[in-house]
Amino acid sequence: MELPIGGMTCGACAARVSRGLSDVDGVETATVNLATERAKVSFDPAVVDPATLEAAVESLGYRIILQAVEGSMGEGRPVDGPSEVGSDGGGGDGRQLDGSSVRLVAAGLLTVPVALISMVHGLRFGGWEWVVGILSTPVVWGCGWPFHRVAIRNLAQRATSMDTLVSMGTAAAWVWSVVALVAGRGHVYFETAAVIVTLVLMGRWLEQRARQRSGEAIRSLAGLSVRDATLANGPTISIADVEVGMRLLVRPGEKVPVDGRILEGSSTVNESMLTGEPLPVAVGVGDTVTGATINANGALIIEAIRVGADTTLARIMRLVDEAQADTAPVQRLVDRISAIFVPVVLGVSVATLLAWLATGQPTADAFTAAVAVLIIACPCALGLATPTAVMVGTGRGAQLGVLIRGGEVLESARRVDHVVLDKTGTVTAGHMTMQKVVPAAGVDAGSALRIAASLEELSEHPVATAIVDAADRQLPVSDFTNLPGMGV
């Protein structure tokens, strides 16, 4: 099953959650993806239940959104139907992005004057240190409070993360500056603390924006589904109420609500969303039709054979969802490195401070060097680069009609040197365009196109659409009739 994890901020967090879940009795494997903020857990239901997993995660200082996983035992992320999958597009990323935007804007507005006054000598004035101190304080302790909160929480758990580096670096720079300002001697580093907070906030904002945009692949697929279905005897019901065996009416121009088998009628169905082929496929009694494809010109009575999470569209969405949550082989190596990265950086920082002091360097210079070590390591994308690349790659592929099964596939694709395609439809845009007009002798090509486009304007056929798109204007048409299988 897959569990949405809240509160992770870096690769070290993901590695710690993965170890914590793996240590629970009954859990066979546990992998955590930082970009999707989800953990994939394989366990024995007879030994452990979701509540136990939630307690294990909370004991580490993180949380599981348990409501989102109820009913998903053994199936991964729950998928109740096409209209419900991915509708949130990332479990609240939109709200997180809004909050990050406010903090980033506030930090930026305050940091710009702080940096200018501190770095441009011509802008300095009497008592400028007090002004930059006042302006930087809300940046460090207000806009940057999420970093300090996570660092304090990790300290209570005797753990470290990238937020620990940010918190220690900015707090140390601010405290040192306050002491130097009050004592009236020494250099102040208010601008350093403010700039670090602002830059890291910008990095987090870009990360959340990338996560939100990668979720558009699922949302665009969900947008293909329908909300209602019409029973053969007339009433309209919600798509969630459709059951296998129900007889449904699909009128011309409507989307097929679920996967079904034709009982009555004949028509052509546009399957470009599934196959990429622009030409509609002729169907009749006994043929199967796929949910979310478009019925072109004939009324159909179908029997529902797959509904909800079993439809073709829902399964495609589930594949994309699982691919985005997949952990690439290189990411497992990165997670192991992230687990020890922060303690190593802290050790190097302390060693730097002691080495400078031992060699007789001024205390201010030693402190500056030690803080610099923390600062340089702060915006580390070690744990986020790979999962974000997998999310963006699989999401963009889904938007273009290419289903990528996960990070391992993407990683192995670097060895591909030949690509074999079985048909042209897989590499087309899914719609037709007119290339050339060849008129009869004595007929103007522009006039011929205008007349043809006028006749085809009311037709839903893909060829008609291509002709209409190519013409600059149409003539008025009356007594239009579309004859199935014959034309207009």
The catalytic site residues sit at: 422
CA distance readout (Å), 47 to 30, 37, 44, 56, 351: 15, 25, 6, 14, 46
Point out which residues pair with 304 in neighbouring strands: 260
Encode 427-462: b = buried (16+ Cβ within 10 Å), e = exposed. Answer: eeebebebeeeeeeeeeeeeeebeebbbbbbebbbb
Contact 318, 76 (CB under 8 A): yes
Question: How many Å is the Cα radius of gyration of the chain?
Answer: 30
CA distance readout (Å), 61 to 49, 90, 158, 381: 19, 21, 11, 22
| H or E stretch covering 380 | none
Contact 308, 286 (CB under 8 A): no
Indicate the burial class of 120 (C-beta count within 10 angstroms; 0-12, 13-18, 19 or more).
exposed
**Which amino acid appears at position 387 of this protein?**
P
Indicate the burial class of 216 (C-beta count within 10 angstroms; 0-12, 13-18, 19 or more).
middle
Q: 185: which DSSP letter?
A: -
Helix extents (H) in 30-161:
50-59, 93-119, 128-138, 145-156
Residue owning tokens 């302390």: 350
